[in-house]
Amino acid sequence: MSEETLSNLSREDRTFEPPAELAEHANVTAEAYERAASDREAFWAEAAERLDWEQTWDRVLDWDDPPFAKWFVGGRLNAAYNCVDRHVEAGQGDKVAFHWVGEPADDTRTLTYQQLQDEVCKAANALTELGVKAGDRVAIYLPMLPETVVAMLACARLGAPHTVVFGGFSSDALASRLTDCEAKVVITSDGGYRRGSASPLKPAVDEARAKAAGEGFEVEHVLVVRRTGQEVDWDDAVDVWWHEAVDNASSEHTCEFFDSEHPLYVMYTSGTTGKPKGILHTTGGYLTGTSYTHHAIFDHKPETDVYWCTADVGWVTGHSYMVYGPLANGATQVMYEGTPDTPHKGRWWEIIQEYGVTIFYTAPTAIRTFMKQGREIPDGFDLSSIRLLGSVGESINPEAYMWYREVIGGDRCPIVDTWWQTETGQILISPLPGVTAGKPGSAMTAMPGIEADVVDEAGESVPDGSGGYLVVKSPWPAMLRTIWGDDERFKETYWSRFAKQGYYFAGDGAKKDDDGDIWLLGRVDDVMNVSGHRLSTTEIESALVSHPKVAEAAVVGAADETTGQAVCAFVILRDSAGDGGEDIVEELRKHVQKEIGAIAKPRQIMIVPELPKTRSGKIMRRLLKDVAEHREVGDVTTLADSSVMNLISDGLSSEKADD
């Protein structure tokens, strides 16, 4: 008998059938699963045919030298041409590509596909003028502006891989990325609007450039978008204004076509578990995987839908499901510059009402923040245009799923809980909205053409009802090709754990329920061992969040003399719960016991005002574990707000442990 890999604690009986109308007209139906399973390569080849190729491939997949995959071998295409030009050529030039909404009131811009094409061509000409050639790397460090998308597409057009660095990152983070991928040019802005004020960006680039130079790496040029009009330091030898270089460039640009495996971009992971890794994505497979899944999972209808993905373009979600996937599909999108609470807490809902958003894709962390604030805020807006909701980034707790479904989706819209990673490039596990009856908290099943499974220590598939390691058993088109400049680390990180089987493993735990549907259970690094039971974070957190006074929860295992490890929980209360009352801790401990059993009952529960999160909004449990074990807090460089850890430790020292 093998030992229990991961306990299965929670039960969920609610299911929601696809709306009849959606199912009837769904882009993808149940037959896709069988078709894909019977011939996976033929299935992906058909998906690739949705794109325009200058030359088609000779071979769908080359997996002769695993784990180094090549997709659509011999094919040639241009990603920017597929995202922009081909729609204009098809007569869609007047169609809106982006309704861009700035953070300051009434600061909006509309970009049609024709305008997008003109801008991308001009930017491509300007970059060429600055010496950028195919293969050169370009860093993009910008807020959420139309120019950000234009810059990415201009790089893609030239075959110059971009690396987008989230605008909230420090000059250190920027410098390490610039040197890691040796960026020739940086595209930035004077500043951007966030939380109601103009914050500078250019100074961080100046600093990063100086740091890189100190390490012997020189950035050649910095192309600067004028957004806020604030003062900037200027180096004539290096700095160039976008409005001079790009606005004066020609809008004629004949694009070159590149090999299907030509590098498209390098994206660094969020850094939830440690030092970010530079993930390399290439062109043909990536565009196939992202555009097909966007079409299938969001049931996207280009003629009628208004799609809004709230992710920052500095994350992979912004790359795959705001830029490449949706644009390849000719989508009309909303893009918003600022924060959800500026100038008021209903800003997102106001934007949905204003633009008639029909498909809305966001993260559980945002949903839980809105739950904390109360439903009165979204209830004040007309959200009836929405027909489909999506979630990504972390597990969506059943309680948050129900709130999202009822309050934002008016109890009529399906929710797609999409599991994927920077490394996977495309969504791998998700319901299909016209096929799958969704269960609150489950990502459900692998997409057609994807072979995912949950396995035990030995790599054997676990039976339904058990937990283990989530693996992918065969290659998929948008998979990472390597870690930039480090093939060994690529093999070691993702392919060594189940090397014998040849499975991809990137660190997440999961379980199969009695129907075989997949539930994500958090990182395996975060699994707790309590009296010999291996408990995941997600289920205990979800049990806490299901209490009406709780908005958010994070659970970690702390060393314990009697049980090996003990469950420690950090909890944020809903605004309506006030301080929770005198007995709140005991109330919550009992609640967890009742929901999932005595074994999971937290030894300690700490009520905190905030949780440590990465800049992409994910909870950083390893820092909480340091607090729970009274250690010095570890590396906080990817933490969004460094004062949060002080808030938490200060609060704790004044609180006694409850046992």
Q: Which residues bind ligand ATP (CB under 6 A)?
A: 269-274, 276, 316, 392-395, 417-419, 421-422, 443, 506, 508, 520, 523, 616, 618
Q: How far is the CB of 580 from ligand ATP (least distance, A)?
A: 27
443: partner contacted, choices ligand ATP, Mg ion, none (Cβ within 5-8 A by kind): ligand ATP
Q: Which is nearer to Mg ion, 188 or 269 (CB)?
A: 269
Q: At closest approach, how far in Å is the CB of 272 from Mg ion?
A: 6
Q: How far is the CB of 268 from ligand ATP (least distance, A)?
A: 8
Q: Which of ligand ATP, Mg ion, none has residue 554 at its interface (CB below 5 to 8 Å by kind)?
A: none
| Residue 490 and residue 499 in contact, taking contact as beta carbons nearer than 8 Å | no
Task: Tell me whether residue 196 or residue 274 sits nearer to Mg ion (CB atom).
Answer: 274
Q: What is the CA radius of gyration of the chain?
A: 24
Q: Which residues are annotated as a binding site for CoA?
A: 194-197, 317, 531
Do the bridges between strand 388-391 and strand 359-362 make them parallel or antiparallel, or are there none, so unpaired?
parallel
In whole angstroms, what is the distance from residue 415 CA to residue 420 CA? Answer: 16
Residue 437 to residue 443: CA distance in whole angstroms: 11
CA–CA separation, 2 and 583 (whole Å): 41
From the list ligand ATP, Mg ion, none, pick the one residue 276 interacts with, judged by a Cβ distance below 5 to 8 Å according to partner type: ligand ATP
Residue closest to Mg ion, measured at CB = 269
Distance (Å, whole) CA 120 – CA 118: 6
Burial of 520: CB neighbours in 10 Å, binned 0-12, 13-18, 19+: buried
Of 251 and 493, CB closest to Mg ion: 493
In this complex, which beta carbon is closest to Mg ion, that of residue 278 or of residue 409? 278
Minimum Å gap between C-beta 16 and ligand ATP is 17
Spatial contact of 427 and 309, defined as CB atoms under 8 Å apart: no
Tokens of 247: 């606005």
Nearer to ligand ATP by Cβ, of 122 and 177: the residue is 177
- With CB under 5 to 8 Å by kind, the binding choice for 596 among Mg ion, ligand ATP, none is none
Report whether the peptide linkage leading into residue 19 is cis, meaning its omega lies within 30 degrees of zero: no
The one of Mg ion, ligand ATP, none whose footprint includes residue 508, by CB under 5 to 8 A per kind, is: ligand ATP
Binding residues for Mg(2+): 545, 547, 550
Per partner kind, with CB cut-offs from 5 to 8 A, the member of Mg ion, ligand ATP, none near residue 456 is none
How far apart are the C-alpha atoms of 19 and 645, rounded to whole Å? 44
The nearer residue to ligand ATP, 319 or 603, going by C-beta atoms, is 319
Nearer to ligand ATP, 520 or 566 (CB): 520
How far apart are CB 453 and ligand ATP at their closest, in Å?
16
Least separation in angstroms between CB 298 and ligand ATP: 14
Contact of residue 8 among ligand ATP, Mg ion, none (CB under 5-8 Å per partner type): none
φ, ψ of residue 440 to 5 degrees: the values are -60, 115
Distance between CA atoms of residues 253 and 52, nearest Å: 18
309 forms beta bridges with: 361
Contact between 157 and 149 under an 8 Å Cβ cutoff? The reply is no
Cross-strand partners of 188: 224
Q: Which is nearer to Mg ion, 141 or 494 (CB)?
A: 494
Based on CB atoms, which residue is closest to ligand ATP, 284 or 314?
314
Instruction: Give least dist CB 137 to ligand ATP, A.
Output: 20
Sites of contact with Mg ion (CB under 5 A): 269
Which of Mg ion, ligand ATP, none does residue 541 bind (CB under 5 to 8 Å by kind)? Answer: none
Residue 539: CB atoms within 10 Å: 27
| Smaller CB separation from ligand ATP, 418 or 436 | 418
- Least distance CB 93 / ligand ATP (angstroms): 35
Task: Tell me the residue type at 240.
Answer: V
Residue type, 427: I
CA distance 307 to 427: 17
Query: Angle at the Cα of 238 (from 234 to 242), degrees rounded to 5?
Result: 75
Closer residue to Mg ion, CB minimum distance, 82 or 269: 269
Query: Cis omega (within 30 of 0) on the bond before 433?
Result: no
Cβ 507 to Mg ion, closest distance in Å?
A: 6
Task: Tell me which of Mg ion, ligand ATP, none is bound by residue 419, counting a contact when its beta carbon lies within the kind-specific cut-off of 5 to 8 angstroms.
Answer: ligand ATP
- Could you tell me the smallest distance in angstroms from the CB atom of residue 250 to ligand ATP? 38
Write out 388-426 in H/E/C secondary structure.
EEEECCCCCCHHHHHHHHHHHCCCCCCEEECECCCCCCC
d(CA 545, CA 26): 33
- Binding site for ATP: residue ranges? 417-422, 508, 523, 534
Smallest separation, CB 552 to ligand ATP (Å): 15
Distances (CA, A) of 158 to 17, 620, 630: 45, 37, 52
Q: Residue 123 is inside which H or E element, if any?
A: helix 113-129
Alpha-carbon gap, residue 625 to 569, rounded angstroms:
10
Instruction: Mark the binding-site residues, compressed into ranges.
Output: 194-197, 317, 417-422, 508, 523, 531, 534, 545, 547, 550
Judged on CB neighbours under 10 Å (0-12, 13-18, 19+), 646 is exposed
